């Protein structure tokens, strides 16, 4: 199989590149995978800029997947897709535990939560999954449930996640 990162031989994909403020590429994301039979999968991304905190004047960024398109063949894009919808896309309030990380040499901000996954065939939604979150120990956001819905919006299945809290007491 052949995999392309940051673009294909005929085009670059800017959202698949994560760069520092000087334009140096920090990472390349997978944009296409083609097997030996010519079957292809394409990956799309969005680079989101965010200050992380309202008091910060420095803008950071991060890359989020937006879509995977599959069942493609050769030069033809696939007929099936998976869309990733974040809380920001839905106009929801931002997570309380925004992550700020400088380990790549610049400010990376993870401020968005994946809220919904939509599976489509030829543009028609055949399934979607809603993800729910809660605040756990140390004010950290944790995934608490995934609910699967059919093409008609009926609930098909659900799964809940539970986390163990730390025992109360003085651990000093």
pLDDT tens digit sequence for 26-83: 999 999 999 999 999 999 999 999 999 989 999 999 999 999 999 999 989 999 999 9
Q: Tokens 């986390």 label which residue?
A: 163
pLDDT at residue 164 in the model: 81
pLDDT band of residue 9 (cuts 50, 70, 90) is confident
pLDDT at residue 16 in the model: 94
137: pLDDT strictly greater than 90: no
Cβ density class 9-35: b for 16+ within 10 Å, e for less: eeeebebbbbeeeeeeeeeebbbbbbe
Q: pLDDT tens across 143-168, in order?
A: 999 999 999 999 999 999 998 877 66
For the chain, what is the mean pLDDT? Answer: 93
Give the whole-angstrom CA distance, residue 130 versus residue 121: 18
12: pLDDT strictly greater than 90: no
Q: Is the pTM of this model over 0.85?
A: yes
11: pLDDT strictly greater than 90: no
């Amino acid at each position: 199989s052949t995999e392309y990162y940051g673009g294909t031989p005929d085009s670059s994909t800017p959202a698949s590149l994560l760069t520092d403020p000087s334009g140096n590429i920090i990472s390349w994301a997978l944009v296409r995978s083609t097997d030996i039979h010519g079957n292809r999968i394409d990956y799309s991304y969005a680079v989101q800029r965010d200050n992380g905190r309202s008091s910060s004047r420095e803008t950071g960024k991060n890359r989020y997947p937006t879509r995977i398109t599959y069942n493609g063949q050769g030069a033809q894009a696939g007929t099936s897709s998976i869309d990733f919808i974040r809380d920001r896309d839905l106009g929801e309030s931002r997570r309380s535990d925004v992550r700020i990380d400088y380990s790549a040499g610049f400010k990376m901000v993870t401020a968005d939560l994946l809220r919904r996954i939509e599976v489509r065939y030829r543009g028609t939604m055949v399934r979607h999954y809603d993800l729910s979150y809660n605040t756990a120990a140390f004010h950290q956001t944790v995934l608490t449930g995934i609910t699967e819905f059919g093409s008609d919006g009926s609930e098909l299945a659900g799964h809940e996640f539970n986390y163990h809290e730390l025992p109360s007491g003085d651990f000093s």
